[in-house]
Amino acid sequence: MKNKAIYDAITIDNEIQHGKPVLKNTRLPIAIIIGSLAGGMSYEEVIQEYAVTQDQILTSLAYFAELLNNETVYSMEQAS
């Protein structure tokens, strides 16, 4: 089941960032937030750098987690 709170906070519009998921009422792609955290930035640094709230960071993480949860991943190993 989709989390309504997550999807109410995310916008996907072909006219904004070429249809990439962004935080609602911003042009900031979710991937920027996730990538910044993955690159070692703290929540506080992301908040300062991109003028977002901790709730927006958590929403971005929840959105990403839901995408991964629904993703089918196939092994790169080949059968012998």
Q: What is the pLDDT of residues 19-58, one digit of tens each?
A: 899 999 999 999 999 999 999 999 999 999 999 999 999 9
> Domain 4-67 belongs to what topology?
Arc Repressor Mutant, subunit A (1.10.10)
Indicate the domain borders of the chain. Answer: 4-67
> Which position has the token pair 């992301």?
46
Question: HEC string of 16-77?
Answer: CHHHCCEECCCCCEHHHHHHHHHCCCCHHHHHHHHCCCHHHHHHHHHHHHHHHHCCCCCCCC
Please check the confidence at residue 78 and state whether its pLDDT lies above 50.
Answer: yes
